[in-house]
Chains A and B, each alone.
Chain A
Amino acid sequence: MLDNYFPILVFVLVGLAFGCVPILLGWLIAPNRPDSEKLSAFECGFAPFEDARMKFDVRYYLIAILFILFDLEIAFLFPWAAIFKEIVNTEAVKMFGFVEMFVFIGILVVGYVYAWAKGALDWE
């Protein structure tokens, strides 16, 4: 099984190298004549004012938290979906395997409906 993952490791390293090398080459080959105007932050021609890093609407955090929870749900659903056919074809566990997952999804739908009703999914 691990032999299968060796090419992936190599590919990830090649991908990283592919990102770095052209930037390095571009930096070496291309002309480099910086001045203060070129190096200042772009703000449509105005001189930049204030720190660019500012506080953001709390909705973004909320979306990120909801994403974590749904991602976990997906992580739980994946193995189940991968053996669902086996579950269906085994008479003994057929109903159990089906109901079990829909109880799981049902409980999460309660949370989803709650978030919706509270307006957590609204963007104004």
Chain B
Amino acid sequence: MEAIVLPFVEGLLGPLWPAVKPVWPLVWTLVKIVLILSPLLLSVAYLTFWERKVIGWMQVRIGPNRVGPWGLLQPIADGLKLFFKEVLFPTAADKKLFVLGPVMAIAPALAAWAVIPFSPGWVLANVDAGVLYLLAISSVGVYGIIVAGWASNSKYPFFGAMRASAQMISYEVSMGLGLITVLMVSNSLNLTEIVGAQSKGQFAGWGLGVFSWNWLPLLPMFAVYLISGVAETNRAPFDVVEGESEIVAGHMVEYSGMAFAMFFLAEYANMILISAMTSIFFLGGWLSPFGFLQQIPLVGVAFSNGFHWMAFKMAAILFFFLWIRATFPRYRYDQIMRLGWKVFVPLTLVWILVVGVWMMTPLTIWK
């Protein structure tokens, strides 16, 4: 794409071009970052809208329908409202860390998108250790919560922060261990190659790619990863962190206005990130599930590989997030910790052994 844009920019700037040339890589990177961030933020805004609509329908309500046609302008109105709300700094708070909290929450949630491939070649940084980078950057997200909880110097935020951080680190273990099997069968830490590895196999050859993706042979790990993802983002039914009836809003109690909006954005950006990661690791990313349908004239184009499949899979996982929020009651804290440490960790370790033995025998499906 750069090859198309570059001559155009050169022509446009004319004599100014030599001055811009040294910083061109930076400018081009920034352009690409904006191209990733603006759809992301738009998705975040409309994810909140969709969430309210879906949960409304599930509870036989209408959901937001006042602002704009079908309520479509609701998230914009919410954003504007937050913008004009007073930002408070409580007297007892540690001011510097109080500001640092939301920044540390949103920065990793956005920076993680640097290595996510959207379709072949459409990735900002095609680094070799992509999985490692994602794990490293998402482990930083816990700081936003701890720092916010401590800096507020108030009881509910402190309790919320403690619960959240212990919960997040517990589920990071099962997410990390669950990914080991994905790496074993893909032979790579690069996200594009992980998707590529899922396009091979008996079923993929027949055009039934959906059965060649990792979710089928690694089904327990897929479940572990998805549920851990819900717990990692502190979403219902694992949302004791901000259990309204117990600790009000957890670490966000003392935040208002844009400072609060940053936590809110980070939570939804993380949800979308988890859905992107799950579809890359287990659901074949941009691969088409029914490649054989490409033979059909006209409609067949929809069944070729491409970004639309990735978007569809992400939307399906996000819908799952909203669905379980409307369906399940909140877990008790000791049950959350038991699930993470006593169910998921043994399960992942056993499945590493199963996949290891499977790959050692001639029955291996990963040649």
Contacts and interface: CB of A to CB of B under 8 A. Distances in A.
A43 B154 contact: yes
B32 interface: yes
A42 B29 contact: no
B155 A8 contact: no
A100 to B, nearest CB: 11
Interface string B98-110: 0100111111111
Contact of B107 (A16, A94, A121): A16
A88 B156 CA distance: 52
Contact of B158 (A52, A67, A88): A52
B122 interface: no
Interface string A31-55: 1111010111111100010011110
A1 to B, nearest CB: 7
Interface of B: 25-26, 29-30, 32-33, 37, 82-92, 99, 102-111, 113-115, 124-128, 131-133, 135, 139, 150, 152-158, 162, 166, 169-170, 172-173, 176-177, 180-181, 183-185, 187-189, 248, 253-254, 257-259, 261-262, 333-334, 337-338, 341-342, 345, 349, 352-353, 356, 359-360, 364, 366
Interface string A80-100: 011111101000001000100
A84 B103 contact: no
A82 to B, nearest CB: 5
Q: Is the interface of A mostly helix, strand, loop or mixed?
A: helix
Nearest to B335: A123
Contacts of A18: 37, 106-107, 110
A36 B285 CA distance: 52
B356 A102 contact: yes
Interface string A42-79: 11100010011110100010011011001100100110
B107 A12 contact: yes
Contacts of A123: 333-334, 337-338
B107 A116 contact: no
Contacts of A32: 86-87
B84 A10 contact: no
9 contacts: A4-B125, A7-B124, A8-B111, A8-B125, A22-B83, A42-B154, A48-B92, A84-B359, A123-B334
A25 interface: yes
Given A30-B83, A52-B155, A10 B30 contact: yes
B360 A94 contact: yes
Nearest first, the 9 closest Cβ-Cβ pairs linking A and B are A26-B258, A19-B103, A41-B154, A123-B334, A15-B107, A81-B183, A85-B187, A74-B176, A15-B110
Contacts of A30: 83-87, 257-258
A105 B254 contact: no
A34 B109 CA distance: 31
Q: Is the interface of B mostly helix, strand, loop or mixed?
A: helix
Interface residues of A, number: 69
Interface of A: 1, 4-8, 10-12, 14-16, 18-20, 22-23, 25-27, 29-34, 36, 38-44, 48, 51-54, 56, 60, 63-64, 66-67, 70-71, 74, 77-78, 81-86, 88, 94, 98, 101-102, 105, 109, 112, 116, 121-124
Nearest to B110: A15
A41 B92 contact: yes
A22 B102 CA distance: 11
A11 B360 contact: no
Given A10-B29, A43-B154, A23 B99 contact: yes
A89 B177 CA distance: 23
A98 B86 CA distance: 59
Contacts of B338: 121-123
Contacts of A22: 83, 258, 261-262
Contact of B125 (A7, A38, A82, A112): A7
Q: Which of A12, A23, A34, A36 has the most CB of B within 10 A?
A: A23
B150 to A, nearest CB: 7
A56 B32 CA distance: 45
Given A19-B262, A23-B102, A29 B88 contact: no
Nearest to A4: B127
Given A14-B37, A71-B172, A82 B90 contact: no
Contacts of B356: 84, 98, 101-102
A122 B356 CA distance: 30
A111 to B, nearest CB: 12
